[in-house]
Amino acid sequence: MILTNHQLQTLNTFGIAVSAQYFVSIETKETLLQLIATEAFQTAPHLVLGGGSNVLFTENFKGYILHNQLKGITILDHSTESVLVKAMSGENWHSFVEYCIEHNWGGVENLSLIPGTVGAAPIQNIGAYGVEVKDVIQTVEAIDLRTGIHRQFTAKECAFGYRESIFKTQYKNQYFITAVTFRLQPQPQQFELSYAAMRETLQSTNYMGEGCLNVRAVSEAVCHIRRTKLPDPTVLGNGGSFFKNPEVDSTFFAQLQQQYPTIPHYPISPQKIKIPAAWLIEQCGWKGKRVGNAGTHQNHALVLVNYGGATGSEIAAVASLIQASVVQKFNIHIQSEVNIIG
Ligand SMILES: Cc1cc2nc3c(=O)[nH]c(=O)nc-3n(C[C@H](O)[C@H](O)[C@H](O)COP(=O)(O)OP(=O)(O)OC[C@H]3O[C@@H](n4cnc5c(N)ncnc54)[C@H](O)[C@@H]3O)c2cc1C
């Protein structure tokens, strides 16, 4: 069924009150294929919407919003070395993580509580606490929205990078991801604990001793940290980190460090250094700053928030002002991680 002028306010975590000219709930691949075959669809703009936790709508959407409701989880293969599990793309990401934890499969526990759907996870190669989803993706299945042709991408073909994939570049808005297959570890013994906050949380709950650590404990530590650190979008509209951490070349960084000796940084190769965008934004005086109903969170300069009744354009305008400040002070362009629509 195609709904018209459908309200999207509860379907995006910024809580922006915009509507979709046409709104279709995609519960089966057949519904999608039938729609793709119509001329009306082929001649109008379209956007796949999952949990709406990485989009900022700046105006009413003129065209089709395809709301992903494809559900189901199937175990394809189970051996002592690995488990292959396929999840339909409309599954809630954290529910899928919970499913893996219940089965004691390792690989996604550090990605607990990231909002959104399974199908959006490969789009920006979601990551948290030292793990990126690319590390466990085997294949991504998708339908070409121009032709209806089904295609399977290997992880290599997805061209994953830091918050990047081929679905954000060459194939932006071209494919509807229908399913993702993950290769996970049965009975995992080793865990990614490079973040001090995770080790401290696990220590305080007595899980760090030998033989005590398990996927459940790691997931609970991640959930605890996230719940205490990040604003809940159901209370305060936001899209998580608004900007990516910029990567600069080491010569440029050396000059910057002379001027700002305390600048935090992480070498990612001999030539490239990553700088936390939050620090740059904070140095520009933006932490907790408010312009009308939009602004940054009081504890997180990187999280742009809707303080109530903000339009998407107001939030995008604050984002532009922040970008300009960072260019002016540091000569660094910070890129948006959130997809700005409109
Ligand atoms: C509080 C909060 C915390 C967050 N923390 C993290 C974090 O720790 N790490 C991290 O990486 N991200 C984080 N995010 C960002 C967000 O949760 C992820 O990017 C998530 O994968 C988005 O999923 P979604 O279903 O909500 O996607 P949506 O916002 O609905 O869509 C995002 C983009 O993907 C496209 N898309 C979605 N589904 C499909 C599909 N099936 N096929 C094709 N295209 C599709 C959309 O068209 C859009 O361009 C956070 C967001 C919030 C609000």
What one-character-per-residue DSSP string does 262-293 give?
Answer: T---EESSSSEEE--HHHHHHHTT-TT-EETT
Quick: pLDDT tens for 70-113: 999 999 999 999 999 999 999 999 999 999 999 999 999 999 99
Per the structure block, which two tokens stand in for 144?
């070409």
Quick: pLDDT tens for 2-54: 999 999 999 999 999 999 999 999 999 999 999 999 999 999 999 999 999 99
Could you give the percent of the chain with pLDDT greater than 90?
Answer: 96
Per the structure block, which two tokens stand in for 192?
């990614």
Phi-psi region of 211 (alpha: psi -120 to 50; beta: other; left: phi over 0): left
Quick: pLDDT tens for 111-131: 999 999 999 999 999 999 999
pLDDT of residue 209: 64
Torsions phi, psi for 316 (to 5 deg): -65, -35
Rounded to the nearest integer, the mean pLDDT of the chain is: 96
Torsions phi, psi for 215 (to 5 deg): -60, -35
Q: Which residues have C-beta atoms less than 6 Å from ligand 1?
A: 13, 47-55, 68, 89, 114-117, 119-121, 123-124, 126-128, 175-177, 230, 233, 238-240, 339
Neighbours of 49 (CB within 10 A): 21
Q: How far does the centroid of ligand 1 lie from the alpha carbon of residue 339, in Å?
A: 9
Nearest one of 172, 48, 168 to 119, comparing CA atoms: 48
Give the fold, CATH level 3, of 73-229: 3.30.465
- Tell me what percent of the chain is helix, strand and coil, each rounded to the nearest 5: 30, 30, 40
pLDDT of residue 185: 98
Quick: pLDDT tens for 275-333: 999 999 999 999 999 999 999 999 999 999 999 999 999 999 999 999 999 999 999 99
Mutate which of 53, 111, 129 to test ligand 1's pocket (most atoms within 8 Å of Cβ)?
53
**pTM higher than the cut 0.85:** yes
Q: How far does the centroid of ligand 1 lie from the alpha carbon of residue 30, in Å?
A: 24
- Backbone CA torsion sign across 59, 60, 63, 69: positive
Domain boundaries, the chain: 2-68, 73-229, 237-341
Q: How far does the centroid of ligand 1 lie from the alpha carbon of residue 13, in Å?
A: 10
CA distance 311 to 32: 30
Q: Which residue has better confidence, 171 or 207?
A: 171
Q: How far does the centroid of ligand 1 lie from the alpha carbon of residue 114, in Å?
A: 8
pLDDT of residue 66: 98
Q: Judge whether 184 and 83 are in contact, CB under 8 Å.
A: yes
- Could you tell me the pLDDT band of residue 196, with boundaries at 50, 70 and 90? very high
Written as one letter, the residue type at 243 is F
- Checking if the pLDDT of 219 tops 80, the result is yes
Residue 119 alpha carbon, nearest atom of ligand 1:
41
Residue 124 alpha carbon, nearest atom of ligand 1:
19
Which residue's CA is the closest to the ligand 1 atom numbered 10?
126
Written as one letter, the residue type at 127 is G
DSSP single-letter state for residue 153: E
Q: Domain 2-68 maps to which CATH number in 3.30.1370.10, 3.30.43.10, 3.40.50.720, 3.30.365.10?
A: 3.30.43.10
Active site residues: 163, 241, 337
Give the fold, CATH level 3, of 237-341: 3.90.78
Match 């401290």 to its residue by tokens. Answer: 200
Match 């061209």 to its residue by tokens. Answer: 159
pLDDT of residue 212: 78
